[in-house]
């Protein structure tokens, strides 16, 4: 009776009630947002050792009519829980592929690859491979320019199934990067078996790479691991020239971060690239 009483009390906890209501409102807002075209993509440059842009990462943005710009950290988790990540993820993929096709006919943009974040829930869906192939087919985008960023949380799933899906997409030319590498659950034996193209050093290791010997050791180890597995490696969250130089000295030759550019809306991104070409 005491426990029940406590539960009853908890149920009427005004803070919790408020949280539940806020969540339900946000879920409805997400549905509306998708219907009303409130989402858009920003593009963050990825550069090589010479500072030349080789590609970009597409990052989702939500322009809410009242809340303003809502960062992905505030809505992606809910979208994953509710399953709304499936239609949202499909929208991201088809918008990104439409953009790739548009760039294909522009001399300054045609060489760029585009990385798209795929949530574990999206990848896990039985039709994921067919969906990606259908989007490529409908948009006419070059699969060789599309890179899918997967996170380590995916590796909690059936590895055979993951390998089968990745292999099917790779057969069409789609590339794969393992995002946030080093923060999750990767087992090195899995890593060897996955048909990956790239490891992405998480920004949490890059941030203090100059001052924290542990982060420096982890960053170096990831680069060495990528080299021995013959994978590309890119560092995200590069904010200073010193961080970039440390990474270069340790064999990481591709970078993404505020040092080069913040994620930019389409027009600004294209201007950024065209401007660089004119220098």
Give whichever of 29 and 149 is closer to Ca ion, judged by the CB atom.
149
C-alpha–C-alpha distance, residues 137 and 192, integer Å: 30
Write out the binding residues for ligand C2E, residues 142-181 only, by CB under 6 A: 179-180
Which region, judged by CB under 5 A, interacts with Ca ion, from 13-21, 106-114, 146-154, 265-273?
146-154
Which positions from 213 to 252 touch Ca ion by CB under 5 A, shown as an x/- string? ----------------------------------------
Minimum separation from the CB atom of position 71 to ligand C2E (A):
5
Per CB under 6 A, the list member of 21, 258, 274, 277 interacting with ligand C2E is 258
Minimum separation from the CB atom of position 72 to ligand C2E (A):
3
Minimum separation from the CB atom of position 218 to Ca ion (A):
14
Q: Given the DSSP bridges, would you call strands 53-64 and 113-117 parallel, antiparallel or unpaired?
A: parallel
Alpha helices (H) along 105-212: 120-124, 128-139, 159-170, 188-193, 203-207
Is the backbone of residue 270 left (phi > 0), alpha (psi -120 to 50) or beta?
alpha
C-alpha–C-alpha distance, residues 75 and 71, integer Å: 7
Which region, judged by CB under 6 A, interacts with ligand C2E, from 124-132, 170-178, 189-197, 237-245?
237-245
Per CB under 5 A, the list member of 29, 80, 152, 180 interacting with Ca ion is 180
Q: Indicate which of ligand C2E, Ca ion, none lies near residue 143 (CB less than 5 to 8 Å, by partner kind).
A: none
At CA 160, angle to CA 159 and CA 163, rounded to 5? 85
DSSP-assigned states of every residue in 156-178: GS-HHHHHHHHHHHHTTT-EEEE
Task: Decide if residue 117 touches Ca ion (CB under 5 A).
Answer: yes
Which region, judged by CB under 6 A, interacts with ligand C2E, from 18-26, 71-79, 99-107, 227-235?
71-79
Task: Decide if residue 45 touches ligand C2E (CB under 6 A).
Answer: no
Minimum separation from the CB atom of position 201 to ligand C2E (A):
11
C-beta neighbour count of 155 within 10 angstroms: 19
Q: Indicate which of ligand C2E, Ca ion, none lies near residue 257 (CB less than 5 to 8 Å, by partner kind).
A: ligand C2E
Task: Answer whether 72's CB lies under 8 Å from 92's CB.
Answer: no
Task: Decide if residue 92 touches ligand C2E (CB under 6 A).
Answer: yes
Task: Decide if residue 76 touches ligand C2E (CB under 6 A).
Answer: yes
Give whichever of 6 and 88 is closer to ligand C2E, judged by the CB atom.
88
Picking from 134, 141, 90, the residue whose alpha carbon sits closest to that of residue 112 is 141
C-alpha–C-alpha distance, residues 77 and 59, integer Å: 15
195: three-class secondary structure by DSSP:
coil
C-beta neighbour count of 225 within 10 angstroms: 17
Q: Indicate which of ligand C2E, Ca ion, none lies near residue 248 (CB less than 5 to 8 Å, by partner kind).
A: none
C-alpha–C-alpha distance, residues 57 and 115, integer Å: 4
Residue with tokens 């203090």: 208
Binding region for ligand C2E (CB under 6 A)? 44, 59-60, 71-73, 76, 89, 92, 117, 119, 179-180, 203, 236-239, 257-258, 263
């Amino acid at each position: 009776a005491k426990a029940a009483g406590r539960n009853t009390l908890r149920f009427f906890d005004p803070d919790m009630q408020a949280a539940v209501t806020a969540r339900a409102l946000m879920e409805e807002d997400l549905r509306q947002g998708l219907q009303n075209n409130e989402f858009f993509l920003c593009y963050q440059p990825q550069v090589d050792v010479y500072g030349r842009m080789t590609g970009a990462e597409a990052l989702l943005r939500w322009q809410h009519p009242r809340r303003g710009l809502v960062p992905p950290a505030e809505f992606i988790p809910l979208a994953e829980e509710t399953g709304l990540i499936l239609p949202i993820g499909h929208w991201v993929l088809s918008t990104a592929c439409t953009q790739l096709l548009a760039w294909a006919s522009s001399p300054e943009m045609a060489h760029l690859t585009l990385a798209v974040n795929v949530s574990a829930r999206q990848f896990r869906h039985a039709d994921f491979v067919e969906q990606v192939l259908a989007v490529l087919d409908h948009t006419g985008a070059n699969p060789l320019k599309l890179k899918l960023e997967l996170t380590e949380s995916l590796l909690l799933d059936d590895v055979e199934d993951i390998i089968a899906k990745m292999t099917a997409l790779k057969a069409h030319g789609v590339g794969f990067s393992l995002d946030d590498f080093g923060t999750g659950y990767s087992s090195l034996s899995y890593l060897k078996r996955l048909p990956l193209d790239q490891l992405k050093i998480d920004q949490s290791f890059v941030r203090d790479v100059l001052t924290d010997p542990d982060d420096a050791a982890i960053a170096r180890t990831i680069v060495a691991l990528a080299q021995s597995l013959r994978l590309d490696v890119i560092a995200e969250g590069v904010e200073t020239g010193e961080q970039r130089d440390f990474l270069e000295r340790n064999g990481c030759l591709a970078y993404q971060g505020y040092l080069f550019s913040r994620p930019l809306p389409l027009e600004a991104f294209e201007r950024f690239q065209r401007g660089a070409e004119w220098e």
